[in-house]
Structure 1
Amino acid sequence: MFNKLADIKTKLSDVLSMLRKLVCIGEVSIVDAQLRRVKVTFPGLRYPESDWLPVLGMRSKSVSISCNLEVGEQVLCLFIPSGSMMSGYVLGSMANKSAKPYIANVDKFGVQFKDGTLLEYDQSTQTGVLKIGGGTPAITVSPEKVLIDAKLEVTGATELFDTLKVAKATTLMDTLTGMKTATFTGLVGAAGYGSNTGGAAVMSSGAILQGSVTINGVTVAVISHTHNDAEGRPTSTANQ
């Protein structure tokens, strides 16, 4: 009788031990980034290091997602069907006092990397942000505009279907061609192209100027006047 009770107690103890091991909180000890799997230890528990455990992810075939866990990261593990550390899965990482979400805002969804790089969307303002290293270069996209805080280099053809406003100096390394009127309110210099100091500026379709023209420091004035012909009659207006 007592032997049977002892056997039942032992079996119940084994069952309880298996149940305790079904779901465990551990820490990542080794990462295999190629197969998206990890080994896990269980600080404070007398459990051995686990075997390789697959980490559950969103996609794995035609759409591939790379998002590896880090050594020391706290994770929740499921060991089925028997609670054996040889067969199980990592369900995901867990936030704790030393590893909190980078921001406590229910309207913001994003990823912040170890170097400070941030990719974030705020659904309350409909604004998306990309910041490299947490600072610049940075791109902010909102319903009103797109703000780029960085040096910008475009290697392909670019078309603008609205006005272009340039706040500082603009340098052209090649030809500027216009199909309509160009209006300037400040000083315009046209040095042309040459190998040393620049060549002559050429305008093939004429020029309309209002105001004075200075050539080599000498102001050129245009004065309208008339002459009389051989019979004393005034000629049409001439320019000098």
Structure 2
Amino acid sequence: MFAKLEARMDQIEEMIRHAFRVGTVVSTNPAAGTARVQLADADGLVSFDLPVMQRQTLKNKDYAMPDAGEHVLCTFLPFGVEQGFVLGSIYSTADVTPVADPDKRHVEFEDGTWLQYDRKTHSLSGVIKSGSVRLLIEGAAQIEARRGAVVKSDGVIQVDAGDHAEIRSRNPLQFWTPGTQVFPYSPIELEEPEK
């Protein structure tokens, strides 16, 4: 009787030991949201396609896939490496955190683009490298800056009003320009954002 109990306990310990494992992503299937992972503690064994955990997938959808070579934490059902999930990526001495501040939420991309919110200073900041920003708002938009606003461009700044344009100021308007020209209306053609 004790032998059976001991064997069962050994079996449970073995399942627990292999329930959580660290590995390296070797390939992904972006359309299916899965990844294959080489397990560090299994002599180079590569898992089957494992679903990558996301925050939401039904009505609201969140999507982020690990890169090949990324260290991840996986969990497996007690049937081997056939059924499991990629729980998320983990930092290491080789892949260090981009910031070291618990007050910051930071997202950084391979091309150097980053977005960050600092809850301590209440500031949202970011840099978009060699690209563009496109937003299509199907309703009304309002931007209000209570301490002033600056719009600056090294190129052309265009404003296109489908009806009419209004500028309101409690004080006189000031213009710094070498001259002005008036042209007939021609609409600005914009591309819609792509997923």
Asked whether the two chains share a fold, i.e. TM above 0.5, the reply is: yes
Structure 1 residues 11, 114: closer, same or farther in 2, change over 3 A? Answer: same
Counterpart of 2:28 (choices 28, 31, 39) is 31
Q: 1:117-150 CA deviation, whole Å, 9 max, x = no partner?
A: 01111222222113112x8989xx9863444454
Counterpart of 1:131 (choices 127, 133, 147) is 127
Aligned residue identity for 2:93: K
Give the corresponding residue for 2:158: 154
Distance in 2 between residues matched to 1:18 and 1:47, nearest whole Å = 19
SS at match of 2:36: strand
Give the corresponding residue for 1:106: 102
Counterpart of 1:93 (choices 75, 86, 89) is 89
Aligned residue identity for 1:102: P
TM-score normalised by length of structure 1? 0.58
Structure 1 residues 57, 142: closer, same or farther in 2, change over 3 A? Answer: farther
Shift of 1:62: 2.8
- Preserved CA contact (<8 Å) 1:126 1:143: no
Counterpart of 1:174 (choices 168, 183, 186) is 183
Aligned counterparts, 1:139-150, within 5 A: 144-150=147-153
SS at match of 2:18: helix
Moved more, 121-130 or 87-96: 121-130
The total of aligned residue pairs comes to 168
% identical equivalent positions: 22
Shift of 1:92: 0.9
Aligned counterparts, 1:190-205, within 5 A: none
Q: Give the unaligned 5+ runs of structure 2.
A: 134-143, 185-195
Q: 1:146-183 CA deviation, whole Å, 9 max, x = no partner?
A: 444544543522543336554454653427xxxxxxxx
- Preserved CA contact (<8 Å) 2:27 2:36: yes
Indicate the structure (1 or 2) with the bigger Cα radius of gyration.
1
- Preserved CA contact (<8 Å) 2:54 2:63: no
Give the number of the structure with larger relative contact order, counting CA–CA contacts within 8 Å between residues 6 or more apart: 2
Aligned counterparts, 1:1-240, within 5 A: 13-46=10-43, 48-80=45-77, 82-133=78-129, 144-150=147-153, 151=155, 153-154=157-158, 156-157=160-161, 158-162=165-169, 165-169=174-178, 171-174=180-183
TM-score normalised by length of structure 2? 0.69
Q: Give the unaligned 5+ runs of structure 1.
A: 176-240
Aligned residue identity for 1:122: D
Distance in 2 between residues matched to 1:124 and 1:143, nearest whole Å = 19
- The CA RMSD measured in Å over matched residues stands at 3.2
Give the corresponding residue for 2:140: none
Give the corresponding residue for 1:229: none
